[in-house]
Chains A and B, each alone.
Chain A
Amino acid sequence: MTDVKQEEITKVIVISSDKVLPVDAAMKIYESEFPVTVKETCFGLIVTGPAEDVLMVTEEIRKLDKNHIFVKDRGFPAGDERRCRASRGGGPRPGFHFLREEVRMLPAIGTALDELEVKEPLKKSRGKKDKLKVSELEKIIEAEIAR
């Protein structure tokens, strides 16, 4: 069993961004030289380490694309034998199915956060069919090109 100090915490960072990849976020952490363990996954990163460092790291990562990077706590540390698929003989780890379902909704949640940030009244943006603004078209094209 993995020995972990009591003050250590683990965060799951889920990246649903057009600009940032999990590897970019991981490189950012390696560059920062925080004493944390980083595990890259298909949906983002798992970061384990002393509470203060992990919180600072997650804040740094969040800044890369604030509204499209999501963070939650995780009970088990990264690579814990009780959850690691290598020692459990494969198969999805417990908690994966719920995460996968939520990851599907993240692009929509990210867009909603973007709109909330620019203080666009929610009801105004729905229902009425207006002409597409040039600035919005530019944003869509940039997002598509960045994919």
Chain B
Amino acid sequence: MAKIFIYPVNSLILADLVERFGHKPLAVMNQVREKVTNISLDSPPVNITPEDPKIGLRYAAVEVPAGVRGRMSLIGPLIEEAEAAIIVHEPPVDFGCVGCNRTNELMKYLVRSKDIPILELRYPEAEENAQEFVYKIAAFLEALSGEEEK
């Protein structure tokens, strides 16, 4: 079971497909859960501690907007943990917690600069694209399982 980084980081389809084919999705929801359900609350309501900006500084300099560092404090550790990645280009919605384009670019750059298998594909818009989308992801994940067995 490999740890797969997914982009968009909160995607239902990608998280489900990765889990369905027997791997562990590294999604931002798990990071958020650790923050919001921790009993020892340091800074309610979302429990951001003074350590979090420091984690963000590992990935982005102090001059970049605070939002980028904040997002990277959650997403950066996931990229470090990743053993493979699936990147979907042009997702339909790019706002909310995945809305910062600078963070998205930095995130993709960091993933590509790691020496891990990466699958990059476009978000499906029609039924035919969806078939190809699922087929490629399944083939990629099955190949990863095969490598693990070797």
Tell me the complex Cα distance, A71–B16, Å.
Answer: 6
Chain B residues touching A, majority SS: helix
Neighbouring A residues of B45 by C-beta, 8 Å? 1, 82
Tell me the complex Cα distance, A125–B130, Å.
Answer: 13
Judged by a CB distance under 8 angstroms, whether B69 is at the interface is no
Most chain B C-beta atoms within 10 Å of own C-beta, residue among A1, A70, A109, A122:
A109
B134 touches A116 (CB 8 A): yes
Tell me the complex Cα distance, A99–B36, Å.
Answer: 20
Judged by a CB distance under 8 angstroms, whether A130 is at the interface is no
Tell me the complex Cα distance, A78–B41, Å.
Answer: 19
B12 touches A70 (CB 8 A): yes
Partner of A116 from the list B19, B92, B126, B138 (CB cut-off 8 Å) is: B138
Judged by a CB distance under 8 angstroms, whether A94 is at the interface is yes
Neighbouring B residues of A125 by C-beta, 8 Å? 131
Partner-contacting stretch, out of A7-15, A19-27, A28-36, A133-141:
A7-15
Tell me the complex Cα distance, A98–B30, Å.
Answer: 17
Q: How far is the CB of B141 from chain A (nearest CB, A)?
A: 11
Tell me the complex Cα distance, A67–B130, Å.
Answer: 14
Judged by a CB distance under 8 angstroms, whether B11 is at the interface is yes
Whether A9 touches B33, Cβ cut-off 8 Å, given contacts A101-B92, A108-B127, is yes
* A113 nearest CB neighbor, chain B only: B134
Partner-contacting stretch, out of B59-67, B78-86, B95-103, B106-114:
B95-103
Interface size on A, residues (CB 8 A): 40
Neighbouring A residues of B46 by C-beta, 8 Å? 82
Within 8 A of B (CB), among A1-60: 1, 3-6, 8-10, 12, 14
B12 touches A14 (CB 8 A): yes
Neighbouring A residues of B96 by C-beta, 8 Å? 94-95, 97-98
A116 touches B135 (CB 8 A): yes
- Proximity bits, A59-76, B CB within 8 Å = 1, else 0: 000000000001111111
Partner of B97 from the list A9, A12, A14, A94 (CB cut-off 8 Å) is: A94
Judged by a CB distance under 8 angstroms, whether B132 is at the interface is yes
B12 touches A12 (CB 8 A): yes
Residues in B lying within 8 Å of A, measured CB to CB: 8, 10-13, 15-17, 19-20, 27-33, 35-39, 41, 44-46, 91-93, 95-98, 124, 126-128, 130-135, 138
